[in-house]
Structure 1
Amino acid sequence: MGKLYSICSNAMDRLNKVIGYVLALFLSVMVAVIFYQVFSRFVMGSSTSWSEELARILMLYIILLGAAIAIRRGQLLAVEVLPDILKGNAKRNLSIITNVFSALFCAILVFYGYGLALNVSSQTLPGLGVSMFWMYFALPFGGLLILVNAVFNIWSIIREVKK
């Protein structure tokens, strides 16, 4: 069981590292696109609609991919009053419960987000001319990555308890 955990841990670390690089790329592209939009609006007198749409799509992916990394590192916003009060097993159990609720929420997000993406797939974004599916696909894609990280967190906590 220890070898399987080690393999999965390395895979999760690699996956999150790739997500981090994708986040850096998306953020760089978003900054460049927004800079272009501001430049074109104030210098050339007109802005482009595609730049606003692209920035919005990139922002959705950045938020959801960033949340996947943050949940693995335990860096999501949280109220820390109860975890600070609790000690030992109670603190671990609370951590397991919060990760289970996160996983359940993300499972729902994946299921309904994919359905929503399919429902709007016939519509196109007017500025970019691509299917709205790709904008809404951020929900199931990001939700799946958060779900995988939450499940791995639960496994890690349970594994620590057994040691």
Structure 2
Amino acid sequence: MNKPELVFNKVNLILEKVLIVIFALLVLDVLFQVFSRYILGTSFTWTEEFARFSLIWLTILGAAYLNGKREHLSMDFLYQKFSESNKRKASILIEVLIFLFALIVMVIGGFNLVYTTLHLEQLSGTLRIPLGYIYAIMPFSGLLIMCYSVYHISTIYSNKIKN
């Protein structure tokens, strides 16, 4: 196993564990909310906000993870009709487009969103957490997706050399 592959596997393992923890916290939070509402007869307002923020992080980090594992949703009917050479070219083009999307929308746009909300000192309604911290997952996941795209392009290119 080469060094980039070791790093790729290590990042995936860490990301898997983080996603499991976030999901477990989300489940516990929702169960606590149901318990408190129907058994205790009172509802805690922070549980709904925590569930929303957990779901945001789970979704955006999960998208980066699935992109890295190449298990994201795709329609490959036309792609399957290509020759091996054209499949390789299309795969590289797709990875470049994913890289550019992650750079422009997630990293640049995400950093702008984080900066703006931190600069304006916007806080969440109930938990009073600076919203910039919640939104920070966007540029972080964008950077992950960009790294995954570079890794995928390098593996496509190295497989071309081997063949």
Q: Please, what TM-score do these two structures have when normalized by structure 1?
A: 0.92
Q: Distance in 2 between matches of 1:52 and 1:149?
A: 33
Which of 43, 46, 51 in structure 2 is aligned with 1:55?
Answer: 51
> Offset at 1:87?
2.2
Percent of matched pairs sharing the same residue: 29
Aligned-pair Cα RMSD in Å: 1.4
Deviations 1:11-56 (A, max 9, x none): 1110111000000010000000011112222223332221111111
Deviation >4 Å, runs of 4+: none
Query: In the alignment, is residue 161 of structure 1 matched against residue 157 of structure 2?
Result: no
Which of 107, 111, 116 in structure 2 is aligned with 1:114?
Answer: 111
Which of 23, 27, 40 in structure 2 is aligned with 1:27?
Answer: 23
Q: Distance in 1 between matches of 2:64 and 2:138?
A: 12
Q: Distance in 1 between matches of 2:40 and 2:98?
A: 46
> Offset at 1:57?
1.4
Q: Please, what TM-score do these two structures have when normalized by structure 2?
A: 0.92
1:136 match: 135
1:101 match: 97
Q: Which runs of 5+ in 1 are unaligned?
A: none
> Offset at 1:130?
1.1
Q: Distance in 2 between matches of 1:52 and 1:141?
A: 24
Q: Distance in 2 between matches of 1:46 and 1:95?
A: 53
Q: Which amino acid aligns with 1:46?
A: T
Q: Which runs of 5+ in 2 are unaligned?
A: none
SS of equivalent to 1:120:
helix
